[in-house]
Every structure is written in structure tokens, then in C-alpha cells.
Amino acid sequence: MSSLYALEPEGGWHKADFPRIEPISEKKANILMKAVLWGASQVSKNQTGTEKIPDVFLLLMQHQHIFWQWLQFASRLMPFGTLERRETELIILRVAWNTRCYYEWGQHISLSKREGVLAEDIERVAQGPAAEGWSPRVRAMLTATDELCLKGIVSSATWTNLTEHLDAGKTIELLLLVGAYQMLAGVLNSVGLPLEKEFSAF
């Protein structure tokens, strides 16, 4: 799996040795926040064998009001969205690749394995929608992901292709999923949040 972390997009990953904004200390979390952190630690335990809480939660908890609103919204897209979870992870990985967000890439390599994403799938994500081996549905979704990330709009041709596979609700969900993870990648890249060693060594 280490080779998947070694993949690099053009221009390289946005990385930093230390964050511009430090994640909060777990000791400063209130009771509700500690409950969320405990849940996150259990997910991490299933992925890596350690109960390391992902630093992205502790970072966003620096702004508690926004954190709760973000958590409610983000959880409706992942893991409680209506798109297939494997497809969701492929889309998020492609957003991470397009935005050169190493933190998002590393976290979702781990998450995607639990949803049936194989090493060869992740390598294809790096190659893009044109890579051989994608189903027509996934290819359409990844093409829309690239266009939305890189151009800010899904083209007419891609839209026609996409809506052959997704109904109106799932199409909106896809667009929101791409937008949400592109926004998060911008935060993580700008803050310079390093990927936890528990994930980079996974």
C-alpha cells in the first residue's frame, strides 16, 4: 500500500511540516465534542489498529459553531449519502488528487479500502477518468468531478452522459460531494495540516 502514498500529481502534493493553525487539544473538547472524537477514534481503530483521532476534527473544532454545521452537512454526503460508498471514495480521492491535498488522499486511501476499493482502482484514480477499466457510470462521475474541480462547471456533453446513470437527486449529491471535498482540501492545504503518521505508515 505504501506505493499508493508515493503517487504524486503534477506539481507534487501540498505538504507542510507543521500546521499554520494547530488542532485543539482533546482536553479542551466539551462533552459533545468528546463523544464525536470517541466515535472518530473507533473508526480509526478499525482502519489502522490505533485509536488515533484524525487531526482534521481537532482542527475544525477551533471554530465550534462551524464545526457542528460542517459535521452535519459532511456526514450526509459521507458516510450517509445515497451514492454507493465505493463510488463516493473514488470521487473523494479524485478531488484530493486534483487539489494536490495529501491529507485528504492519505485519509481516504484508508477509508476506501474498507469500501472495496482496490490498489489498482486507486492507481486508476491517479490516471483519471480516461484510464482503462472504469465502468461507464464511474467514468461519467469522475469526468464530472474533473470538470467541476478544474473548470467550475460540468460540460453539456458530460452532463448528458452523467444523467444516463444518475437521477436528479444523486446528480446534485455528486456535485455537492465534489464541492465539499474541494472546499475541505483548500482548508487543509492552506493550513498545512500534516497527515498523521498512523495513516502515512498504514
**pLDDT value at position 5?**
64
Alpha-carbon span 8 to 99, nearest angstrom = 11
Listed in sequence order, the residues at least 6 apart from 189 whose beta carbon sits closer than 8 Å to its beta carbon are: 14, 99, 100, 101
Q: Between 68 and 28, where is the model more confident?
A: 68
**pLDDT value at position 88?**
98
Are 93 and 122 contacting, i.e. CB atoms less than 8 angstroms apart?
yes
Are 4 and 123 contacting, i.e. CB atoms less than 8 angstroms apart?
yes
Encode pLDDT of 130-145 as tens digits. 999 999 999 999 999 9
Q: Between 5 and 116, where is the model more confident?
A: 116
Are 181 and 96 contacting, i.e. CB atoms less than 8 angstroms apart?
yes
Residue 147, classed as helix, strand or coil, is helix
Alpha-carbon span 72 to 68, nearest angstrom = 6
Domains and CATH numbers, the chain: 24-200 (1.20.1290.10)
Query: Lowest-pLDDT range, 21-25, 73-77, 93-97, 196-200?
Result: 196-200
Percent of the chain with pLDDT over 90: 72
Are 199 and 107 contacting, i.e. CB atoms less than 8 angstroms apart?
yes
Rounded (10°) CA dihedral 77, 49, 46, 180: 0
**pLDDT value at position 47?**
58
In this predicted structure, the answer to whether residue 2 has a pLDDT above a threshold of 60 is: no
**pLDDT value at position 45?**
63
Q: 85 falls in which pLDDT band (50, 70, 90)? A: very high
Alpha-carbon span 195 to 176, nearest angstrom = 24
For the chain, give the mean pLDDT: 90
Query: Lowest-pLDDT range, 3-7, 13-17, 121-125, 151-155?
Result: 3-7
- For 23-27, what is the mean pLDDT? 85
Q: 1 falls in which pLDDT band (50, 70, 90)? A: very low
- For 158-174, what is the mean pLDDT? 98
Encode pLDDT of 34-72 as tens digits. 887 777 777 656 655 667 778 999 999 999 899 999 999
**pLDDT value at position 54?**
85
